Chains A and B, each alone.
Chain A
């Protein structure tokens, strides 16, 4: 194979194509709008002329002799009966017309001014800087002139009507007039307006010849019915040719000026929509079905256009996509792949003396007997499909130098991805595990980096095809190597939801676990020995939850930290914490404290952080596997559920809540009457109304919080929702307050709800009512149920949240695109500096400190303290 060295592009030049050049590059003039004759053969000088290239197999190109697939296609041309404006340059024409003399075509500037601007343009060009600003100044200055200094002609105001109409003195300028004016501009003047007279004469913007794109660019497709369906571009070209012909006939027949102008306008319309079918002010040309045609601009623009859709991003082979579902029994770096998918995706094996027997076995198994092989490529490059019937024969034929596409099997490295791919952990390398059923399976501990859940999310899977790609994936992208996030220097993979609840229940309870249960809890982990029992009950040994958890901790681990459930007491009692919130792990034994989000949760896990930074990712990975499995068994051991009864508040608490609410309501009433009486004390920098609003909001939110506190006192740690909120598994105490006690103020843009009917929010209230209920305060709890007005206000507040998210995602998506485009080629050099492809320095030291944020301690400069601790020993 010849490896071509990539060539460096030195220069790109843009310009306009002259009519002469259009004709030169054309292989035929197109005069008839018809495409095929009755025999289905392309008509000569028609839009499908075989000189323009061929798309039907069997035919040969009349220009190059190539068959379909070989012939690249060739341009033709249409001679326009009357010139038309190129929409893409309509604004430029306006500028040029206004800057040049209507009679002699001179640029309306003094000679010395022209010289000055030209020099400026030349220096800017030399420095590779944009000349836009100077050119715009030239146009602005030239427009000011009232008379031509060269011929004395008085200039007229030129009005521009979108998209392609120019009006001078109530008199419409025809493209012919415009073209003849542009022709008069001298080469010297053209340079002053920033154009290149050799490559872009202004009159070339007014089209007299229209190039006809090659047939290969607009292939027709044959429908099942045998009917031909033409490309949108062909449809548009048909329109142009028809009108062009009609125009000519009418003009030759001496039709009245009015009709000629109408036809001219129509020709302009068709050429405009041929170039761009989404010009504002021009009704888009439509297909018979009513669908707007996709013409030249539409092929290039936007997400699905040529640049973003076909060049920067393409569709790929060796990939699969399906719904995901959880499987805590998989290891975190595994991905469960449906058998059907595994049979379809392949890896190419080169047959060598070392793998000959193995390869033969794959081929023998054929395509239906996983893991088998789907194709072989013989030494001469011929591809042969392996079928049930030829697999045995082919297996015997396989020899060195052949290639075999074997099906992927357990242990193969694949890339797994969930969109939107916002950070590098959105694509990670997993090892596959072929499983029955139709979904991709993944350990729920890897949901956070993908931001995945299982409400119908789909994910993509890609199979790397070369040894280099596989090695790179395994070394750089493997899940194990991405447990730490470079965003904040802590673990992003770890326990979520039930993992946290499960281990919390296990390690926080005083339950005595007998041998049977202890072994049951640890069954899925590879631990086969138990610690010394904690004691005996009824002559039976028992173990504590902490001891069971200790079994999955690696020996040699020493840690002390405050758990998530820590109440941040004024003076921390440390090991004597009555909430068991101070965690002490000594030599891999959990001596004190409760395991919760702070210990094993994704984003916060202190244990995982330590394991990766001071042990290795292998041990950390094993720990997550064990922790997820143990936690699921732990939660099943005691059972865990949440229902409407868990929101029950005893009557005495309910009456306390009612009391608080009534008091708050009273206070609000007082504030309002003070306001109305003009006795309200104004806050600095606020109007009186603003002050009132703020005071009311403050009062009501205080009331809501204290109802929450009352509810919280009656819902203790025996309540599932409280366990989840306190341990950090899911939800918050606020959620619980809203369910059990009071939903609280509904806000729009951070203010009470004000809009609605004249003078009031809803017709249920009196005009001018400033009270809490009239402005979106929801006194009820979700359990007690909302009143109709409360329900309505709640819907208003809820809608704001939805709108916000929709707006935010689109904005952040665009921001992301711009950032990625700006930063994608930056590289950290060996000297620690960050440079771009031009070798310009962006940073002298990567991130100011030269530190890989993944290895920093939660982005804090604490490495030194950690080292000291490990040498001196952690103080008790």
Chain B
């Protein structure tokens, strides 16, 4: 087993500068996105429930996560992923 980090020094994935912002979509947001792209949830790209970033925001299977990345050309790039097992 991995040794426990000293208190206050645990690794926080979301605070790492290479990890983009992750957030769970609420019901309305999800509905809006799905109708905007005219898709079912299953057609979205996936993310594992066990993904460190997904675990950090307590995403559950079936949730859709919004990922906001910094992009050199687009400023902010928004991406969605369906949480799977």
Contacts and interface: CB of A to CB of B under 8 A. Distances in A.
Interface of A: 831, 833, 835, 839-845, 847-851, 856, 859-861
Size class of the B contact interface (CB-based, 8 Å): 10 to 19
B43 A859 contact: no
Nearest to B69: A848
B18 interface: no
Nearest to A851: B73
A839 B39 contact: yes
A839 B43 CA distance: 7
Contacts of B79: 843-844
A859 to B, nearest CB: 7
Interface of B: 36-39, 43-45, 69, 71-74, 77-80
A843 B79 CA distance: 8
21 contacts: A833-B37, A840-B45, A841-B39, A841-B43, A841-B44, A841-B45, A842-B45, A843-B79, A844-B37, A844-B79, A845-B74, A845-B77, A845-B78, A848-B71, A848-B73, A848-B77, A849-B73, A849-B77, A851-B74, A856-B73, A861-B73
Given A847-B73, A848-B71, A861-B73, 9 more contacts: A841-B37, A841-B45, A844-B78, A844-B80, A845-B77, A848-B69, A849-B73, A849-B74, A851-B73
Interface-central residue, A843, A849, A850, by most chain B CB under 10 Å: A849
A860 B74 CA distance: 10
Contact of B73 (A833, A840, A859): A859
A840 B37 CA distance: 11
Contact of A849 (B43, B45, B71): B71
Contacts of A843: 79
Nearest to B79: A844
A850 B43 CA distance: 20
B20 to A, nearest CB: 12
Nearest to B39: A841
A859 B74 CA distance: 11
Contacts of B71: 848-849
A844 B36 CA distance: 11
B72 to A, nearest CB: 7
A826 to B, nearest CB: 13
Contacts of A850: 74
A851 B43 CA distance: 23
Chief secondary structure at chain B's binding surface: mixed
A282 B45 CA distance: 47
Nearest to A850: B74
A849 B71 CA distance: 8
Contacts of B74: 845, 848-851
Nearest to A836: B43
B43 A840 contact: yes
Contacts of B36: 831
Contacts of B37: 831, 833, 841, 844
Contacts of B45: 840-842
Contacts of A847: 73
The 3 A-B residue pairs with the shortest CB-CB distance, nearest first, are A849-B74, A848-B77, A849-B73
Nearest to A856: B73
A835 B44 CA distance: 10
A168 B38 CA distance: 61
Contacts of B77: 845, 848-849
Contacts of A841: 37, 39, 43-45
Contacts of B69: 848
Contacts of B78: 844-845
Contacts of A835: 43
A840 B81 CA distance: 12
A48 to B, nearest CB: 55
B25 to A, nearest CB: 13
A847 B44 CA distance: 16
Contacts of B80: 844
Contacts of A842: 45
Contacts of A861: 72-73
A822 to B, nearest CB: 15
A846 to B, nearest CB: 10
Contacts of B73: 847-849, 851, 856, 859-861
A137 to B, nearest CB: 18
B32 to A, nearest CB: 13
Nearest to B80: A844
Contacts of A851: 73-74
B48 to A, nearest CB: 15
Nearest to A832: B37
A843 B44 CA distance: 9
B30 to A, nearest CB: 14
Contacts of B44: 840-841
